[in-house]
Structure 1
Amino acid sequence: MGAKLFFVIALFLFAFVQAFYNRPPLDFPRETFLTIEKGTALAVIADDFDKRRIVRSPFWFKVFVTLRAGSDGAIAGDYFFRERASALRIAERLVTGEYGLEETRVVIPEGLTNKEIATLFARALPKFSAREFLSLAEKKEGYLFPDTYQFLPNIQASGVIAVMEENFNKKITGLEPLVQIFKKPLRDIIIMASLLEKEARTLDTRRRIAGILWKRLRLGMPLQVDAVFPYIFEGKAYDLTDGDLLVDSPYNTYKYKGLPVGAISNPGLDALRAAVTPIDTPYLYYLSDKNGDMHYAKTHEEHLVNRVRYLNM
Structure 2
Amino acid sequence: MTGFLRRFIAGMITALEFHCMRFWKHWLVVAALVGLALVVLYLLLRAPFTFSPTTITIERGESSAQVAATLGEKRVVTSALALRVLLRISGGDNKLREGTYAFTAPENVFSIERRLLSGEYGVPAIRLTFIEGVTVPEMARQVAAAFPDITVRDFTALAQPYEGYLFPNTYVFPGSVDAAFIVKTLRTNFDKQTEGLKRDVASSKRSFSDVVTMASLVEKEARTDESRRMVAGILWNRVDKGMRLQVDAVFGYIFDTETYSPSQSDQKVASPYNTYLHAGLPPGPIGNPGLSALEAAANPTKTSYLYYLTGDDNQMHYATTFAGHKTNLQKYIK
The TM-score, its normalising length taken from structure 1, stands at 0.70
Alignment of 1:18-167 (within 5 A): 34-35=55-56, 39=69, 78-79=100-101, 93=104, 95-96=106-107, 100-167=122-189
Distance 1:138 1:308, change over 3 A: same
Q: CA deviation at 1:130?
A: 2.5
Whether the 8 Å CA contact 2:217–2:285 is kept in 1: the answer is yes
Q: CA deviation at 1:170?
A: 1.0
Q: CA deviation at 1:209?
A: 0.7
Distance 1:237 1:267, change over 3 A: closer
C-alpha separation between the residues in 1 aligned to 2:71 and 2:291?
51
Q: Which residue of 1 aligns with 2:267?
A: 245
Runs of 4+ in 1 over 6 A off after TM superposition: 69-73
Distance 1:34 1:239, change over 3 A: same
Whether the 8 Å CA contact 1:286–1:296 is kept in 2: the answer is yes
C-alpha separation between the residues in 2 aligned to 1:304 and 1:180?
37
Report the 3-state secondary structure (helix = DSSP H, G, I; strand = E; otherwise coil) of the residue aligned with 2:193: helix
Q: What whole-Å deviation, never above 9, does each CA across 1:185-221 have from its counterpart, x for those lacking one?
A: 1110000000000000111111111111111111111
C-alpha separation between the residues in 1 aligned to 2:268 and 2:248?
12
Report the 3-state secondary structure (helix = DSSP H, G, I; strand = E; otherwise coil) of the residue aligned with 2:176: coil
C-alpha separation between the residues in 2 aligned to 1:236 and 1:177?
32
C-alpha separation between the residues in 1 aligned to 2:71 and 2:322?
75
Q: Which residue of 1 aligns with 2:231?
A: 209
C-alpha separation between the residues in 2 aligned to 1:70 and 1:267?
46
Distance 1:278 1:36, change over 3 A: closer
Distance 1:239 1:148, change over 3 A: closer
Moved more, 172-181 or 150-159: 172-181
Q: Which residue of 2 aligns with 1:230?
A: 252
Q: Which 5+ residue runs of structure 1 have no aligned equivalent?
A: 1-32, 46-64, 81-91
C-alpha separation between the residues in 2 aligned to 1:242 and 1:99?
53
Report the 3-state secondary structure (helix = DSSP H, G, I; strand = E; otherwise coil) of the residue aligned with 2:295: helix
Q: Which residue of 1 aligns with 2:300?
A: 278
Q: Does 1:191 align with 2:213?
A: yes
Q: Which 5+ residue runs of structure 2 have no aligned equivalent?
A: 1-53, 59-66, 84-98, 113-119
Whether the 8 Å CA contact 2:124–2:174 is kept in 1: the answer is yes
Q: Which residue of 2 aligns with 1:305?
A: 327
Q: How many residues align?
A: 245
Whether the 8 Å CA contact 1:126–1:153 is kept in 2: the answer is no
Report the 3-state secondary structure (helix = DSSP H, G, I; strand = E; otherwise coil) of the residue aligned with 1:151: strand
Report the 3-state secondary structure (helix = DSSP H, G, I; strand = E; otherwise coil) of the residue aligned with 1:242: coil
The TM-score, its normalising length taken from structure 2, stands at 0.66
Whether the 8 Å CA contact 1:103–1:151 is kept in 2: the answer is yes
CA RMSD of aligned residues (A): 2.8
C-alpha separation between the residues in 1 aligned to 2:270 and 2:77?
68
Report the 3-state secondary structure (helix = DSSP H, G, I; strand = E; otherwise coil) of the residue aligned with 2:276: coil
Whether the 8 Å CA contact 1:126–1:154 is kept in 2: the answer is no
Whether the 8 Å CA contact 1:289–1:310 is kept in 2: the answer is yes
Identity %: 43
